[in-house]
Amino acid sequence: MPNAFLDKVSLGRDSSGRPLVVNRRTMAMLEAAERKLGRKLVIVQGSFLAGKAAKRSGPTHNRAGVIDIRTKDQTPAQQAQTLLELRKISFAAFHRTTKQGFADHIHAVAIGDPGLDPSAARQVEAYKNGRDGLKGNGPLDGPRVKITVFPLTMPSSIAPAVRTARPVVHLASVQAQFRAGGTKALPDVKTIQLALNARLKLTLLVDGKAGKFTREAYKKHQKAIGSAPKFIDGIPGPKDLTNLGLGRFQVI
């Protein structure tokens, strides 16, 4: 029987422009951790990246169950809290640092995911043994928690949260494209065009280019939500974009 919990969920693109894909179980684990933390976490590298992962990651992100979480948007105290909650929810989570030769981030492997790359499965074993999962086999940093395994099939209690997995829109890159007049096609702009069509009952061409009609439609949206006149400019801002994304996409 197919296990829907292991289905892939596409979340758009990561901060380096790679396809951001995780399975539902990994997503549900992340969302559970976010609920504990009371804040959102940003995935900077997802799963299923065979051949496309950052070099320093090795093959660990090639298959299911592995994500990298941004840390630069968190205080050191928040980073420690994130590491703890990810571990409690049953990620083998490691804080990777510049000292170790990484761009600072948290690397998290979903314990028990049957689709892990063997290299990621080895990191889970290292984690269970209190090691850091790197070549040098150093000690694990931060708090040790009881090893648990998140459910392997979708519990009905968390299914609704998983179904609302939303794409991500990167504010800075769409702003640049709207200002440039849509010279190139961007998946994030497509997401915005779809939302504008739905919200304003329009029939914009969904081509990912922030051309004249898209900018005019965006202006309409800004007006419709009562933005101050100086913000009715047809260029996405944090407030109007977040408003447009309600129930549709997440702005980062």
Residues 6+ apart with CB under 8 A from 190: 206, 207, 208
Radius of gyration of the chain (CA): 20
14 touches Zn ion by CB under 5 A? no
Instruction: Quote the least distance from Cβ 104 to Zn ion, whole Å.
Output: 12
72 vs 184 by CB, closer to Zn ion: 72
Pick from 161, 153, 152, 147: nearest CA to 32: 161
**Does position 63 bind Zn ion by CB under 5 A?**
no
Q: Does 209 bind Zn ion (CB under 5 A)?
A: no
Segment contacting Zn ion by CB under 5 A, of 99-107, 135-143, 170-178, 185-193: 99-107
Q: x/- site string to Zn ion, residues 225 to 244, per CB under 5 A?
A: --------------------
Q: Does position 188 bind Zn ion by CB under 5 A?
A: no
Which residue number, 119 or 227, has a Cβ lying nearer to Zn ion?
Answer: 119
By CB under 5 A, is residue 71 in contact with Zn ion? no
Q: Is 215 in the site for Zn ion (CB under 5 A)?
A: no
Q: Go through the chain and tell me how many residues it has.
A: 252
Report how far Cα 82 is from the mean position of its chain's Cα atoms.
15
Q: Which two tokens stand for residue 67?
A: 């994500």
Crossing angle (nearest 10°) for helices 187-200 and 212-224: 50
Q: What is d(CA 214, CA 80) in angstroms, rounded to the nearest whole number?
A: 42
Under rule CB under 5 A, which residues in 28-57 are in contact with Zn ion?
57
Residue 107 binding Zn ion, by CB under 5 A: yes
Q: Does position 117 bind Zn ion by CB under 5 A?
A: no
The residue range among 13-21, 61-69, 132-140, 209-217 that interacts with Zn ion, by the rule CB under 5 A, is: 61-69
Q: Which residues contact 28 (CB under 8 A, 6 or more apart)?
A: 5, 150, 154, 158, 161, 162
Angle formed at CA 195 by CA 190 and CA 201, multiple of 5 degrees: 120
Nearer to Zn ion, 31 or 68 (CB): 68
One DSSP character per residue, 93-141 reads EEEE-GGGTS-SEEEEEETT-TT--HHHHHHHHHHHTTB--STT-PBPP
Q: Considering the complex, state which of residue 68 and residue 117 has its C-beta at the smaller distance from Zn ion.
A: 68
* Shorter beta-carbon distance to Zn ion: residue 68 or 113: 68
Cβ closer to Zn ion: 112 or 245? 112
CB of 45 to Zn ion, least distance (A): 6
Q: From the list 68, 85, 117, 188, which residue makes contact with Zn ion (rule: CB under 5 A)? A: 68
The answer to whether 132 contacts Zn ion (rule: CB under 5 A) is no
Using CB under 5 A, list all residues that contact Zn ion: 57, 68, 107
